[in-house]
Amino acid sequence: MDLSRELVVAAGDASVALTVPAARAAEASFDAWVREASPALLRFARTTRSVDAVDLVQDALVAVFTRWSRLSEPGAADAYARRVILNSHVSRWRAWGRRVSTVDPAVLTAAAPAGAATGSGEVLLAHQLLAGLPTAQRAAVFMRFYDDLTYRQIAEVIGCREATARSYVHRALTQLRTQLDQEPPS
């Protein structure tokens, strides 16, 4: 008799599946948290430039599940999951070495669907500019402006002081502004 069940959470165009023993699956609060947090965690994982964002979220869900009873403070599970995603990404990056894949923007523009939005050029530019930031700065900018986290919450996720989180965001914005000023007008 199989005493496990599979919990599948859809987030946009990807889904995250987690198989858990039936005895622990009774934790309705964990199930509810997974349903609520998975889309945001997947969006966060995609900022790592990693093709395996779903795997990073899966690792984070497993890690949170094993420590669920100790993550009782509000927001603790979210912060812990983001930290696991960030650490997993850095670990994979170190293990595989730094591999840079460059794509000619003309190829991406030519491959865009015929009915693509007129703002797709700005979206592509934003992705390119953000991809040029170091991982910690990119994560800090994402958490500050996309997830609307405070600097204190960002510092907890990244594992640094609040002043360092502010510095990451400030330096990233300075670098982005500089790069935007250098971009030739289209």
Q: In the chain, which residues fall in CATH 1.10.1740?
A: 1-98
Regions of the chain with pLDDT less than 70: 1-27, 49-50, 95-120, 183-186
Distances (CA, A) of 32 to 9, 26, 73, 74: 11, 11, 15, 14
> What is the third-level CATH fold of 1-98?
Rna Polymerase Sigma Factor; Chain: A (1.10.1740)
DSSP state of 143: H
Q: Decide: 68 and 28 in contact? Cβ < 8 Å.
A: no
Note if the pTM is more than 0.95.
no
**Which pLDDT score is estimated for 25?**
44
Distances (CA, A) of 141 to 4, 66, 76, 137: 39, 29, 20, 6
Q: Which amino acid is at 94?
A: R
Return the residue matching tokens 């790592």: 48
Given the candidates 1.10.10.10, 1.10.275.10, 1.10.1200.10, 2.30.42.10, the CATH classification of the domain at 118-186 is 1.10.10.10
DSSP state of 68: G
Q: Residue 15: helix, strand or coil by DSSP? A: strand
- Per residue in 72-97, pLDDT (tens digit) is 777 888 899 999 998 888 887 776 65
Q: Residue 21: helix, strand or coil by DSSP? A: strand
Q: In the chain, which residues fall in CATH 1.10.10.10?
A: 118-186
Interior/surface letters 154-181, b for 16+ CB within 10 angstroms, e for the rest: bbbbbeeeeebbbbbbebbbebbeeeee
Q: Residue 47: helix, strand or coil by DSSP? A: coil
**Which pLDDT score is estimated for 29?**
79
CA–CA dist 174, 133 (Å, integer): 11
